[in-house]
A and B are shown apart, each in its own frame.
Chain A
C-alpha cells in the first residue's frame, strides 16, 4: 500500500557567490521562512525536519544538531542525510519517506551550502579513494570533463553541442529566475572562447559554486490537500548509487546510475514514453557536457542522440520539453541545496507557481540529482495524483 505525498511549499534564498551578510543558520532560516510562507504554515505545523549539506564545505560536524536555531529543529525530530552532490535529492527523498511512512504528516526538508567558505574542488576531491584515485581526480570537474571525452569519441559529439546547453541554461536564468546566482546572457561563441579549465570543459561550461539554501515542505495526502489546492504529488522516486571506484564510471560514454534510477522512478510513476509524457525537466546538469551526454539515460532520445536533441531546440523554453527553466545548476550551485532546488523548481512548475519560469500547462515534471561520484537520483512530480 503506497501513500501519496505532495509538496506544498518551496522557499529559497537569492543565491550568490558569497553571502557575507549572514551566517549558515541565518541563511537556512531565510529559506525556511519563505517555504513556510509559501504554504501559509508556521513552524508549529512542522512534524519533522531533514537537513543536508556536504560537511567539508563548512567544516561543521553534526550539522543537524548545529542547525536547530535556523532550521526550527529545536525540540523537534530532526536528522541529517548526506550523499555528496546528490544530497539535495536524497534529502528530498528522505522527506518523502518521512511523510509516506505515516509517522509524520508535514515534513520540512532543508538543503544548504556556503561553498564560499572553503576550497570546493579540494573538498570534493576527498571523496575519491586517497590511495588509488584522489591524486589526479580534480574534484567534480576533472571526472566530468573526462567523461565527455569518452562520449565525444564514441558518438562524435562536440564542444559546440555542449555550448548550446550552456547558452540555454544561462539565458533561462537571466530571463526567468530572480533567485539564480549567475544571470548572464551568453552566446555559443562566448562559451567557445572561454578558457579551458579542464579539457574539454571551459569556464562557461561549468557550474559556479554558490552560497544558498532551499527548503521544501512535504505533506501526507490528507494534510497536503488541506494546505494547498494544488500540491505537487510525488509519483516516482529512484536512487542509484553505484560507484566506489570513480575510474569504473569514467570511460563509459553513458551514465548507468541515471538510467537505472530513471527506470525505477518511471516504473513507479507509470511513465512509459518519457519524451512525450514529461512536460518540463529540472535536471542536475553540473557541466554543459552532461547536458548532451545524459539525455539518453533519461530515455529522452536514442543512444548517442544527445547532440541531435539539443540542436533541435526542443529543450529550450517554448520547446516541447523545456529543460531547466530556472537556469539549472550552471546558473546556481549551492551544492547541498542544488538537488533540492531541482525538486523545488519542478514542484513549482506543476503547482503553477513558477512565475516567470512557468512552462504553460505543465502537469508532469522530472527532477534529477547527481553527485561528483557519478551517483544519480530522480523524482517524478505531477499535479495529478496518478498518470493513468
Chain B
C-alpha cells in the first residue's frame, strides 16, 4: 500500500495512573519505626552468631544466614561515609510532586552499628561537607512512625 507523500506527524498518548501501594513494613521495620516514634531511639538487630548489629533491623544476617531476634539500641551519633548534594528535580514517587532541591543525601554509619543508613544532612554546600565528619540525628517533635520525618535530619557536630 502506497503511503501518502506528506509525512504524518506521530502522535503520543499521555497516560498517568495512580498506582497506590500499601507497603508492609514487616515485623522488623515495625519495631524500628515504633522505637523512633515512641522512644526517640534508633534500634538495630544483632546476629546471634557473628554479633554484627544491623540498622535498620532485618530478619537475616547477611553473612551467617541465620535469623536475628535480639534488638539493641544504637547511638544517634555516627560518621559520614559518603554524601552527595542532589540538584536536579524529579518526581517524588510518594507524593507525585517534584522533589525539593537541593538536598544532601548522607550515608552514615551510626556508632554501634555494622551497617549503614541513608538520611539527609542540613548542609547543602558541598564545600562544607567531607566524608569522615561526625553527625548527630535530630528527631522531630511530631513523630508518626515515618522514619524520614521522625528523624528530621542529621546535623554536623564536628570534623571540617
Contacts and interface: CB of A to CB of B under 8 A. Distances in A.
Contact of B118 (A21, A59, A145, A247): A247
A200 interface: yes
Contacts of B17: 59
Contacts of A153: 130-132
Interface stretch (A118-126, A218-226, A262-270): A118-126
Contact of A197 (B82, B87, B117, B130): B87
Interface residues of A, number: 43
Contacts of A59: 15, 17
Nearest to A118: B91
A134 B23 CA distance: 13
Contact of A250 (B99, B107, B147): B107
B92 to A, nearest CB: 7
A245 B108 CA distance: 12
A367 B85 CA distance: 31
Contacts of B10: 20-21
B70 to A, nearest CB: 19
Nearest to B109: A251
A300 interface: no
Interface stretch (A136-144, A174-182, A232-240, A309-317): A136-144
B86 A142 contact: yes
B120 interface: yes
Contact of A150 (B108, B117, B131, B148): B131
Given A20-B12, A131-B25, A245-B56, A136 B88 contact: no
Interface of B: 10, 12, 15, 17, 21, 23, 25, 29, 32-33, 56, 58, 62, 81-88, 90-94, 99, 103, 105-109, 115-120, 126, 130-132, 147-148
